[in-house]
Amino acid sequence: MENRYDILFQPVRIGPVLAPNRFYQVPHCNGLGYRMPRALAAMRGIKAEGGWGVVCTEEVEIHHSSDLMPNLEGRLWGDRDIAPLQMMVEAVHQHGTLAGIELTHSGHHAPNLYSRVPPLGPRSMGVSGYHPWQTRRMDKEDIRNLRRWHRDAALRAKRAGFDIIYCYAGHNFCLAMHFLLRRYNDRSDEYGGSLENRVRLLRELIEDTKEAVGDTSAVAVRLAVDELIGEDGITHQGEGHDIVAMLAELPDLWDVNISDWPNDSVTSRFEKEGYQEPYIAFVKTLTSKPVVGVGRYTSPESMVTAIQRGVMDFIGAARPSIADPFLPQKIKQGRTEDIRECIGCNICVTGDLLSVPIRCTQNPTMGEEWRRDWHPEIITPTKEPKEVLVVGGGPSGLECARALGQRGYSVVLVEARKELGGRVALEANLPGLSEWRRVIDWRLTQIQEMDQVSVYPASPMSAKDVQETAYAHVVIATGALWGRDGVGRTHWRPIPGYDLPAIFTPDDILADRLPMGQVLVYDDDHYYMGGLIAELLSSRGCVVTMVTPAPLVSYWTQYTLEQERIQRRLMAKGVTLFTQHSLTSIQPDRLTLSHTISNFETSLPYDAVVLVGARAPNDELYLALKPALEKKIISTLRVIGDAEAPTIIAQAVFSGYLAATEFDKTSSEGTPFRIEYVEV
268-291 confidence digits (pLDDT tens): 999 999 999 999 999 999 999 999
Tell me, yes or no, whether 290 and 395 share the same domain: no
In this structure, the number of other CB atoms found within 10 A of the CB of residue 500 comes to 13
CATH, residue 423 = 3.40.50.720
Residue 447 has pLDDT above 50, yes or no: yes
Q: How far apart are CA 231 and CA 237, in angstroms?
A: 10
Tell me, yes or no, whether 423 and 543 share the same domain: no
Q: What is the pLDDT of residues 89-134, one digit of tens each?
A: 999 999 999 999 999 999 999 999 999 999 999 999 999 988 899 9
Tell me, yes or no, whether 399 and 514 share the same domain: no
Q: What is the pLDDT of residues 634-649, one digit of tens each?
A: 999 999 999 999 999 9
Which pLDDT band holds residue 666 (cuts at 50, 70, 90)?
A: confident
Per-residue b/e over 378-391, b at no fewer than 16 CB within 10 Å? Answer: ebeeeeeebebbbb
Mean pLDDT of 400-421: 97
Q: What is the pLDDT of residues 346-375, one digit of tens each?
A: 999 999 999 999 999 999 999 999 999 999
CA torsion 136-137-140-146 (nearest 10°) is 50
**Catalytic option among 24, 29, 348, 523:** 29
Mean pLDDT of 191-216: 98
CA torsion 225-279-129-107 (nearest 10°) is -10
Tell me, yes or no, whether 451 and 499 share the same domain: no
Q: Which of 28-32, 77-81, 320-324, 673-677 has the lowest mean pLDDT?
A: 673-677
Residue 371 forms part of a structural domain = no
Q: What is the pLDDT of residues 561-611, one digit of tens each?
A: 999 999 999 999 999 999 999 999 999 989 999 999 999 999 999 999 999
Model pTM score = 0.95
Write out the H or E segment, with its range, that includes residue 594. Answer: strand 590-595
pLDDT attached to residue 650:
98
Beta carbons of 252 and 285 less than 8 angstroms apart = no
Residue 75 forms part of a structural domain = yes
Tell me, yes or no, whether 31 and 169 share the same domain: yes
- DSSP class of residue 322? H
Tell me, yes or no, whether 52 and 127 share the same domain: yes
Q: How far apart are CA 19 and CA 583, in angstroms?
A: 58
pLDDT attached to residue 147:
98
pLDDT attached to residue 2:
59
264 is catalytic: yes
Nearest residue to 398 (alpha-carbon basis) of 380, 419, 377: 419
CATH, residue 506 = 3.50.50.60
% of the chain residues with pLDDT over 70: 100
**Domain of 446?**
387-479+618-662
3-state secondary structure at position 316: strand
171 is catalytic: yes
Radius of gyration of the chain (CA): 27
Tell me, yes or no, whether 204 and 261 share the same domain: yes
- Burial class for 38, CB neighbours closer than 10 Å (0-12, 13-18, 19+): middle
Q: What is the pLDDT of residues 480-491, one digit of tens each?
A: 999 999 999 999
Residue 667 forms part of a structural domain = no
pLDDT attached to residue 282:
98
Residue 359 forms part of a structural domain = no
Beta carbons of 576 and 518 less than 8 angstroms apart = no
**Catalytic option among 81, 264, 313, 352:** 264
Write out the H or E segment, with its range, that includes residue 152. Answer: helix 140-160
Q: How far apart are CA 26 and CA 305, in angstroms?
A: 20
Provide the H-helix boundaries in 253-357. Answer: 261-264, 277-280, 300-308, 319-323, 327-332, 347-353
Q: Residues with Cβ < 8 Å from 230, sequence gap 6 or more? A: none
pLDDT attached to residue 680:
67
pLDDT attached to residue 1:
41
For 126-150, the DSSP string reads BPTTT-S-BPEEP-HHHHHHHHHHH
**Catalytic option among 168, 184, 528, 606:** 168
313 is catalytic: no
Residue 51 forms part of a structural domain = yes
The domain tally of the chain equals 3
Considering the chain, what is the average pLDDT of its residues? 96
pLDDT attached to residue 661:
97
**Catalytic option among 63, 105, 171, 526:** 171
Tell me, yes or no, whether 467 and 495 share the same domain: no
3-state secondary structure at position 288: coil
3-state secondary structure at position 638: strand
Tell me, yes or no, whether 603 and 572 share the same domain: yes
Residue 680 forms part of a structural domain = no
For 76-120, the DSSP string reads -SSGGGHHHHHHHHHHHHTTT-EEEEEEE--GGG---TTT-PPPE
Tell me, yes or no, whether 429 and 533 share the same domain: no
3-state secondary structure at position 540: coil
168 is catalytic: yes
Tell me, yes or no, whether 408 and 556 share the same domain: no
Residue 569 forms part of a structural domain = yes
Question: What single letter denotes the amino acid at residue 10?
Answer: Q
Residue 587 forms part of a structural domain = yes
Per-residue b/e over 617-646, b at no fewer than 16 CB within 10 Å? Answer: bbbebbeebeebeeeeebeebbbbbbbbeb
Tell me, yes or no, whether 432 and 573 share the same domain: no
